[in-house]
């Protein structure tokens, strides 16, 4: 178990023992379990990649937190800042402050909720989407350059692991809080 994270529910655990994950994917029982150090190594590697794959500052000079909130908002669509905070497992006060800066920069906009005029909903503007696309392409370019330095065996191993990494990420997003 990762430090500070809850164990999967009994139902999920039963499914895992039966050879199927929460997404219905079947995995061979012969797959070796990762050692405790492997989880820590994975965590360090993901953090290092995330930190260093960020492109140099754009002309917008957004902080990594502002880019992350803008990207989360773009994925989620139009919603209240408090709902975005809950969905992403972030502090609502932090998200509210970041959203205010994004709105001031013209990267997001607020509008009245059609069901409750007292509530503001937030969405990414076209300018915000263009900035995210530029950020994502620059980051992907850095990653492609790094991948090109690996041999074919390492690139294949990473490609083979992508599905599992995506499932872990989704589980952490939805279940581990």
| Sequence ranges of the domains in the chain | 58-177
Work out the angle at residue 144's Cα, subtended by the Cα atoms of residues 142 and 145, and round it to the nearest 5 degrees.
Answer: 65
Q: How many CB atoms are closer than 10 A to CB 15?
A: 16
71 Cβ contact partners less than 8 Å away, ≥ 6 residues apart: 132, 135, 136
What average pLDDT score do residues 28-57 get?
Answer: 76
pLDDT at 160 over 90: yes
Q: Which of 23-27, 101-105, 143-147, 148-152 has the lowest mean pLDDT?
A: 23-27
pLDDT at 34 over 90: no
Its CATH architecture, for the domain 58-177, is: Orthogonal Bundle (1.10)
Of residues 38 and 17, more confidently modeled: 38
pLDDT at 59 over 80: no
pLDDT tens figures, 74-83: 998 899 999 9
């Amino acid at each position: 178990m990762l430090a500070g994270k809850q164990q999967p529910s009994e139902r999920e655990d039963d499914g895992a023992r039966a050879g199927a994950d929460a997404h219905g994917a079947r995995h061979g029982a012969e797959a070796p379990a990762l050692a405790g150090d492997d989880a820590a190594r994975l965590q360090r590697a993901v953090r290092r990649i995330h930190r260093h794959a960020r492109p140099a500052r754009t002309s917008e000079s957004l902080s990594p937190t502002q880019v992350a909130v803008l990207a989360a908002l773009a994925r989620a669509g139009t919603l209240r800042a408090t709902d975005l905070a809950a969905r992403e497992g972030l502090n609502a006060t932090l998200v509210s402050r970041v959203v205010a800066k994004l709105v001031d920069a013209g990267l997001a906009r607020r509008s009245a909720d059609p069901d409750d005029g007292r509530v503001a909903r937030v969405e990414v503007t076209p300018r915000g989407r263009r900035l995210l696309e530029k950020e994502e392409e620059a980051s992907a370019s850095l990653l492609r350059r790094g991948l090109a330095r690996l041999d074919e065996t390492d690139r294949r191993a990473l490609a083979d692991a992508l599905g599992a990494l995506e499932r872990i990420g989704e589980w952490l997003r939805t279940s581990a809080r």
